[in-house]
Amino acid sequence: MKGIRLRKAKNLMMTILMGAATITVLVPLALIFIHIVRMGLSSITLDFFTQIPKPTGETGGGMANGIAGSALMIGLASAIGLPIGVFGALYLTEYGGSRISNLIRFSADILSGVPSIITGMVAYTLLVVPMKGFSALAGAVALAFIMIPIVLRTTEEQLKMVPGTLREASLALGVPMWRTSLKVTLRSATKGVMTGVLLAIARIAGETAPLLFTALGNQFWSKRLTEPMAALPLQIFNFAIAPYEDWHKLAWAGALVLVVIMFTLSLSARYFGRSRQGS
Amino acid sequence: MAESEQPQKWKIEKGMNGDFIFKGVTVIFAFTILAILLLMVYEMVRESLPSIRKFGWGFITGRDWDAVQGSFASLPYIWGSVVSSILALLLATPLSVGTALFITELAPKKVGGVIASLVELLAAIPSVIYGLWGVLVMAPWLQSTVQPFLIEHLGFLPLFQGAPYGVSMLAAVFILMIMVVPIITSIAKEVLLAVPQSQKEAAIALGATRWEMIRMAVLPYGKSGILGAVILGLGRAIGETMAVTMVIGNTPQISLSLLSPAYTMPSVIANEFAETTSKLHASALMEIGLILLAVTLIINTLARLLLWGVTRKQKGGSAA
């Protein structure tokens, strides 16, 4: 064969290029990760979890109000988003005609591609303007907008995997459709649904843009849901762009906490996903 | 017998009632999603109307953004968004496709799996953290090392003129590239995994080298799916707010130089929307948001259609 050497050389070159691409991709990501861990570990203190931010010029302080605010808003967003996502998915798999289902699916896919800052603007016009003030509630609604399509699509995937024979068996025993859906179909997909929920929570836990003009952020503790509320990602943003070395340290500590939360959520999502496959 | 059938029948009817309610609830929630999408579009259009009426097409073609004078036009922001996203995609696409090919075709299964999960884990890092790293680590490094080097050696090009500021279009391009690579890689990987084994084996059996197999069997099959992944990455890059806002320098100017600061559509919204000076200012920002929404809707529709085509082909293939 003529040219076999050339062909092999080309093969080798492309192999090396693909390997090089992989290394080029992994190196900056690894650098970022290592840097966050190193800076975070050197900046984090117990105060970080118990104190609120100190006024400009004073050292120390923490992000306790941000952590609490994030947790509260994530909880609220889940309370709004989970039922819509899960029941919507039940409609798609248990009832929907193919055309309507495709329309809903398509809207969910498009919705998940809407930039998160736009969801913030919409929550602003829907809640902040009529209520005449930035509020934790508006922040939670903006986060729910982001969460709903993720929960819907992952739940639907899981429900689709429940064998039809299981539903038929239940229906044949005279169990009404709604009980079958909730107690048989949804129940046997619980672990998979949990995976989707955890991934959705991981996604909104780090969202900053939708909170900028809904929850706004707060230097202090918030007492009501109708007040501006601090959130961990917002505080990281504000402290990162401030010109104080001390605030940068707090931002790094916040970043580490956020990354640990994200990874814990992703890994437990994976755990749920895997144990479902195993059983 | 007749007596014992009576309660049975009643139970079934009650069950049917439950079914009716249950179906109603699921229908309402399912259509809530459609309603949210329509509501978003409606709200954005409604709030943009004052600005659209006042400035017309001039809003897109003009360069003047002056909150004090009350005159608004958005070309510098559109320019910043388009240039930063497209350059980031140009850099990210070969890297992502190369990585996806490495994971699916070259690496041993276990190694590929580990790399794939690493990439997926990194895709989950929030943008504010990329921004934190970008503004505190990458931008100073660009300012002290990369940009002086570019000015010295490539300074004759209009792309690399000016002073090294650190925060710049270049910084935004780099941070966007780092952020979209995991997204494109993980979708492209899924697409490549859907290439039927028989196609690859056929190429190998004809004596193709591994690269020739990739070029002849894998890439043509995955072409539209990979394109879908890239377009989806573009949608993410254009809408990306926090990380870009933190590194791009937030200066509304149209400059050919990658070293000069710029501004993007999401960034100006993020910086100004909470503190607007007038109704018109808010409406102008809303119109920028509307443009952004329209662009991402088009991009995402396109990407989904391409990706749906792939998954459908995959289903058809497995059924045949």
Please write the tens of the pLDDT for every residue from B54-103. 999 999 999 999 988 889 999 999 999 999 999 999 999 999 999 999 99
Q: How far apart are CA A77 and CA A79, in angstroms?
A: 5
pLDDT mean across residues, chain B: 90
Strand partners, B72: B65
Residues of chain B positioned with their CB less than 8 A from the CB of A233: 126, 128, 242
CA nearest to B244, candidates A208, A138, A24: A208
Spatial contact of B247 and B172, defined as CB atoms under 8 Å apart: yes
Which chain A residues contact residue B15 at CB under 8 A?
175-179
Degrees (nearest 5) of the Cα angle A215, A217, A222? 85
Closest partner residue to A87 among B25, B106, B301, by Cβ?
B25
Residue with the bigger pLDDT between A185 and B319: it is: A185
The pLDDT assigned to B313 comes to 56
* Å between A22 CA and nearest CA of chain B: 5
Distance from B175 to chain A by nearest Cα, in Å?
10
User: Which region among A107-116, A157-166, B13-22, B108-117 has the lowest average model confidence (pLDDT)?
Assistant: B13-22
Q: What pLDDT, in 10s, does the model give residues A45-70?
A: 999 999 999 887 778 889 999 999 99
Confidence of residue B11 (pLDDT cuts 50, 70, 90): low
CA–CA distance from B284 to each of A24, A196, B49, B315 (Å)? Answer: 40, 37, 9, 46
pLDDT for B3 beyond 70: no
Query: What's the pLDDT band for B156 if we cut at 50, 70, 90?
Result: confident
pLDDT per position as a tens digit, A95-132: 988 899 999 999 999 999 999 999 999 999 999 999 99
Angle at B33 between CA B27 and CA B34, to 5 degrees: 90
Most B CBs within 10 Å, among A12, A17, A32, A38, to test the B interface: A32
Q: Which chain B residue has its CA at the smallest distance from A125's CA?
A: B43
The predicted pLDDT at position B83 comes to: 96
Residue B12 has pLDDT above 60, yes or no: no
Residue B179 near residue B243, CB atoms below 8 Å: yes
pLDDT at B314 over 70: no
pLDDT band at A29 (very low <50, low <70, confident <90, very high): confident
Determine the pLDDT at residue B114. 92
pTM of the model: 0.92
How far from the centroid of its chain's Cα atoms is residue A34's Cα? 22
pLDDT in tens, A204-235: 999 999 999 999 999 899 988 999 999 999 99
**pLDDT at residue number B18:** 83
CB A185 within 8 A of CB A144: no
pLDDT of residue B13: 55
Strand, coil or helix: B73: coil
B209 touches chain A (CB under 8 A): yes
Mean pLDDT, to the nearest integer, of B246-265? 94
Residues near B263 by Cβ (< 8 Å), separated by ≥ 6? Answer: B76, B77, B80, B248, B249, B250, B251, B252, B253
Q: Using CA coordinates, name the residue in chain A closest to B242.
A: A209
Give the model's pLDDT for residue A279: 39
Q: Respond yes or no on whether ipTM tops 0.95.
A: no
Backbone torsions φ then ψ of A96, nearest 5 degrees: -50, 135
HSE at residue B308, side-chain half, CA atoms within 13 A, is 11
Q: Which two tokens stand for residue B293?
A: 């929404």
CA distance B35 to chain A (A): 9
Q: What is the mean pLDDT of residues B282-303?
A: 95
